[in-house]
Amino acid sequence: MKTFTTSFAAIIFALSTLTSCGPAALDIDITELKEPCDFADAMLTVATEVKELIGEGKINDLEGDDKKEAQALRSKARSIENWFEIMVINEDDFDDCPSAKKLKDLKLRM
C-alpha cells in the first residue's frame, strides 16, 4: 500500500508540473489552432508573457532585449489574429471561452 501511495503522489506531482507549464508564447504553432478556445488560450499565453515583461508600462517603454522580445510577442499576437480570421472562427464562441474572459481582465496596453 505504501508503494501505491508513493507512486500515486509521484504521478500527481508530475501531472501538476506538466500542466502548469504551458507553451511559451513564441513556440505556439498557429496552424494547430482550430477551435475558438484554442485561439483564446494562445492569445492569453501571449498576453500574459507581454504583461509580465512590460508590467504597467508599454512596449515603447522597454529597451534592448526586452523590447525585442515584446515586439516578437506582439508579432505572434498578430499572427494568431490573422489565423483567427483565416479559420473564420465565430467571435461569440471565442468570447465564451474561459481564457477569453481572463484576457479581457488583463487590460493589456500594447
pLDDT tens digits, residue range 67-93? 899 889 989 999 999 999 999 999 999
Q: What is the per-residue pLDDT for 58? A: 76
Question: What are the tens digits of pLDDT across the range 27-56?
Answer: 999 999 999 999 999 999 999 998 888 887
Angstrom CA distances, 7 to 10, 13, 17, stand at 5, 10, 15
Residue ranges per structural domain of the chain: 23-106
- pTM equals 0.72
